[in-house]
A and B are shown apart, each in its own frame.
Chain A
C-alpha cells in the first residue's frame, strides 16, 4: 500500500489517466450490459412527444459541434427518430451554431429522413441562423420576415408546411440541443413570450441550470447528457451509441469515486504516521 501511495504521489497524473483510459476503453470493446433506468426528466420529453398529434409542429434547434457531439448527437438522433415516427407531425430544424447544419444533415441521413418523409411537406431544415438570441427572437416573431429561403436555398413560400408556420404561435413544442446559451434564448423568446412548450437536450454540465426551470414547470423535460440519450434509446427501442457508452460512464464514475476515497485514505494514513 505504501509503495502504491509513493507511486501515486509522484506520478499521480499518469496513473490516473491510464486508469481512466482503461475504464473507458474496456467496456466499449467488451460491453457489460448494465440496465439503464429511465429518469423523470427523460420521461417528460418522451411523454410530450408521444402526445403530439397530426398537424403539430416540433421545432428542433441545435448547436451541436464537434466538441459536444459525443454527448448531444445521440440525443438528437433519438428525438428525431421519435418525431419522424409520429404521423403528421411537422419537424422544423434550426441551427444556432456554425457546425449545426453539418450534424443536422448527418442525422437526417442516418434516420433516412429523406426516404421516409417528404421534404417541404413533413420537415424543413432552415440551417444556421446567426445572431444568437436575436435569431431565436426573429424565428418566434415572424419566420418569413427573417428568412426567405431554407438551408438549401429553396424559397420558404415553395415549401407546403411553411404556409401554416409563421411564428412561435404555430409551434407546438421546441426541443433544443446544446451546450451553450441558446437553450436560454428559447426559454426567453418562445416560452416566456408565447407560452410554447420547451424541452432541452443538454451536456451534463448544463443540466443543473436547466433543472431549476424543470422543477418550476417551465420546461417539460431534459435529456441529460449521454445517459439521457441512452434512456431515450431504450424508450423508443432503438439502441445506439449512447446505450453502448453507459457501461464506460459507469466504470469511469466508479473510478472517480475510488480516487476521491483513495486520496482521503492517504491523508488519514499520513496523519497517523505523523502521530
Chain B
C-alpha cells in the first residue's frame, strides 16, 4: 500500500511542477487555469502544515508528561501556554483582539525579542574572540569590517565623511560581488534539487532515507 502511495506521489511530483513551469513560459488559458488551481491548493496545504507543528508538539510533550521524562513540568507549561493562546484566539475570534494582544505582548514579545537581541551580545563576544589579525587575509577582513561598520552607523559620517565612502566602495565592489556569486550558486543548486525531485531521484520529500 505504501508503495502505491509513493508511486502516486512521484507522479504528482512530476506533473504539478511541469504545469507550473510551462505556465510561466507559455500563453495558454487552460494551462493558466489549472496552474492557478494547483497554486491555490498549495496555499491550503500550507495552512494545514501549520497544524502539523502544533500536533507534533502536543504528541511529544504529551509523551514526556505521561512517561515522566526529565523536565516534564516544563512540558505542562508549554502545553498550557499553547492552549491558552489557541483558546483565546478562538473565543475572541481574532488574533488582534485586546485579550490576545495582551498575552502576546506579555509573553511572546519579550521572549522572542530577547532571544533575537542576544545576537548583539554574542556578536560582540564572538568578534572579540575571532577578529585576530593572525594573517594578511584576517587583517584585510578586519579592516573591511571596520569600514563597513562605520558606513552603516551615522557616527562614521560624523567622524569623517570619507569613512562611509570607503565603506561604500568596499561594499559595492567586494561585498555585493561576492554575494552575487553565492546567489548564482544557490539558484543553480535550487534548480538542481527541483530537477531531482521532479524526476524522482530525490527520495527525502517522499519520506525515504538515503
Tell me which of B36, B111, B128, B172 contacts A145 (CB under 8 A): B36
Tell me which of B39, B113, B129 contacts A66 (CB under 8 A): B113
Tell me which of A137, A204, A255 contacts B39 (CB under 8 A): A137
Pairwise interchain contact B127-A208, C-beta atoms closer than 8 A: no
- The verdict on A157 contacting chain B, using a C-beta distance below 8 Å, is no
| Contacting residues, chain A, for B120 (C-beta < 8 A) | 20, 24, 252
With A66-B109, A264-B133 as known contacts, state yes or no: A253 contacts B152, CB within 8 Å: yes
Pairwise interchain contact A253-B179, C-beta atoms closer than 8 A: no
The size class of the interface chain A forms with chain B is: 35 or more
Bitwise interface map of A from 104 to 134 toward B, beta carbon under 8 Å scored 1, else 0:
0100000000000000000000000111101
**Interface stretch (choices A30-38, A52-60, A78-86, A170-178):** A30-38
Q: How far is the CA of A259 from the CA of B179 in the complex (A)?
A: 27
With A20-B120, A138-B43 as known contacts, state yes or no: A204 contacts B152, CB within 8 Å: yes
Bitwise interface map of A from 243 to 262 toward B, beta carbon under 8 Å scored 1, else 0:
00010011111111101101
For B130, the closest partner residue in chain A by CB is A263
- The verdict on B81 contacting chain A, using a C-beta distance below 8 Å, is no
| Contacting residues, chain A, for B209 (C-beta < 8 A) | none
With A12-B128, A20-B121, A260-B142 as known contacts, state yes or no: A253 contacts B155, CB within 8 Å: yes
| Contacting residues, chain B, for A34 (C-beta < 8 A) | 154-155, 158
* Distance in Å: Cβ of A28 to nearest Cβ of chain B: 13
* Distance in Å: Cβ of A129 to nearest Cβ of chain B: 7
Pairwise interchain contact A35-B116, C-beta atoms closer than 8 A: no
- The verdict on A193 contacting chain B, using a C-beta distance below 8 Å, is yes
For B48, the closest partner residue in chain A by CB is A130
Number of interface residues of B (CB under 8 A): 61
Most chain B Cβ neighbours within 10 Å, of A37, A224, A225: A37
Pairwise interchain contact A260-B127, C-beta atoms closer than 8 A: yes
**Which A residues are closer than 8 A to B by beta carbons?**
12-13, 16-17, 20, 24, 34-37, 65-70, 98-99, 101-102, 105, 129-132, 134-135, 137-138, 141-142, 145-146, 152, 193, 204, 208-209, 211-212, 215, 224-225, 227, 246, 249-257, 259-260, 262-264, 267
Bitwise interface map of B from 122 to 133 toward A, beta carbon under 8 Å scored 1, else 0:
011101110111
Pairwise interchain contact A253-B150, C-beta atoms closer than 8 A: yes
Pairwise interchain contact A260-B131, C-beta atoms closer than 8 A: yes
Pairwise interchain contact A263-B129, C-beta atoms closer than 8 A: yes
- Please report the number of residue pairs spanning A and B whose Cβ atoms sit closer than 8 angstroms: 162
Q: How far is the CA of A149 from the CA of B104 in the complex (A)?
A: 25
Main secondary structure of the interface of A (DSSP, over half): helix
| Contacting residues, chain B, for A212 (C-beta < 8 A) | 176, 179-180, 183
Other than A20-B120, A211-B176, A249-B152, give 8 A-B pairs with Cβ distance below 8 A. A12-B125, A34-B154, A99-B108, A130-B46, A212-B183, A253-B153, A260-B128, A263-B131
Pairwise interchain contact B125-A227, C-beta atoms closer than 8 A: no
Pairwise interchain contact B128-A16, C-beta atoms closer than 8 A: yes
- The verdict on B191 contacting chain A, using a C-beta distance below 8 Å, is no
Pairwise interchain contact B154-A130, C-beta atoms closer than 8 A: no
| Contacting residues, chain B, for A215 (C-beta < 8 A) | 172, 176
- The verdict on B195 contacting chain A, using a C-beta distance below 8 Å, is no
Q: How far is the CA of A211 from the CA of B179 in the complex (A)?
A: 9
Pairwise interchain contact A256-B123, C-beta atoms closer than 8 A: yes
| Contacting residues, chain A, for B26 (C-beta < 8 A) | none
12 A-B interface contacts by CB (under 8 A): A34-B154, A35-B157, A66-B112, A69-B109, A70-B113, A70-B117, A132-B46, A212-B176, A227-B152, A227-B153, A251-B155, A263-B128
| Contacting residues, chain B, for A24 (C-beta < 8 A) | 120
* Distance in Å: Cβ of A80 to nearest Cβ of chain B: 16
Q: How far is the CA of A101 from the CA of B104 in the complex (A)?
A: 12
Q: How far is the CA of A145 from the CA of B39 in the complex (A)?
A: 10
For A211, the closest partner residue in chain B by CB is B176
Pairwise interchain contact A135-B43, C-beta atoms closer than 8 A: yes
